[in-house]
Amino acid sequence: MAATAVRQAIPADASAIAAIYAHHVRHGTASFDTVPRSLVETEGGIAESSARGWPFLVAEQDGQVMGYAYATQFRDRPAYGSTCENSIYVHPDRQSQGIGKALLGALLGQAQAAGFRQMIAVIGGGEPASVALHARLGFQHAGRMQSVGRKFGRWLDTIYMQIALGAGDSAPPLKEPQ
C-alpha cells in the first residue's frame, strides 16, 4: 500500500474532493445531502476555509486524493467561535485503510492551531465506522438525535461526539466572541 501524505487542500483538488463527496451523497447516509455539491461549490469551500484560517486537508497516495477532512465553525453565532465541526470523507475504494485516522489526527492539531477549543463530530446515519474512528481518537459520545433525517426510504439518527482541543474550557479562548 502506498504511503499516505496529508496536506492542505488546494483549488486543483476540488474535482477529486467533489467526486468523493458525490459518491457518499449518492450511496451513503453519512451526509444528509441528496444532491452532490458542484465543483464551484467545492472550490468555494476550499477558498473560504483558507480565507478564515481553518484547516481543509486532503490525504494523498501516489499523487491521488484519497480522502479529505475539514473543520468549520460549529454554528454561525459568535459565541460558537471557539467550537468547530469536522467533516471527513474517504474514497470508497480506500476505506478501512487508515486514511480517515490520518486525516482526523492531522485535523485535530490544525484545528487547535486555528484557535478552536472544542471539536464536534456530527455523524449522519450513526455510521458505525465513523463512530469507531472518532472514539479511537478520543472523542466522547455527546448525544443522539433520533430519526432526524430521511434518506433512501428510511429514518436516520445523528450521533454527536466531542473532543476538547488544547486547553479546552480550562482557559479563555484565544479570541473572545464579539
- 27 to each of 20, 32, 41, 89, 168, how far by Cα in Å? 11, 11, 20, 13, 36
Q: What is the pLDDT confidence band of residue 1, given thresholds at 50, 70 and 90?
A: low
Is the predicted pLDDT of residue 178 greater than 60, yes or no? no
Q: What is the pLDDT confidence band of residue 177, given thresholds at 50, 70 and 90?
A: low
Task: State how beta strands 118-124 and 154-164 pair.
Answer: antiparallel
pLDDT digits (tens, 9 = 90+) for 18-41: 999 999 999 999 999 999 999 999
**Residue 125 and residue 147 in contact, taking contact as beta carbons nearer than 8 Å:** no
- The rounded distance, in Å, linking the Cα atoms of 39 and 16 is 9
What SS3 state is found at 8? strand
Nine-digit cell string for 104 = 482526523
- The rounded distance, in Å, linking the Cα atoms of 58 and 91 is 11
- pTM, entire model: 0.94
What domains can you pick out in the chain, each with its CATH number? 5-170 (3.40.630.30)
pLDDT digits (tens, 9 = 90+) for 36-71: 999 999 999 999 999 999 999 999 999 999 999 999
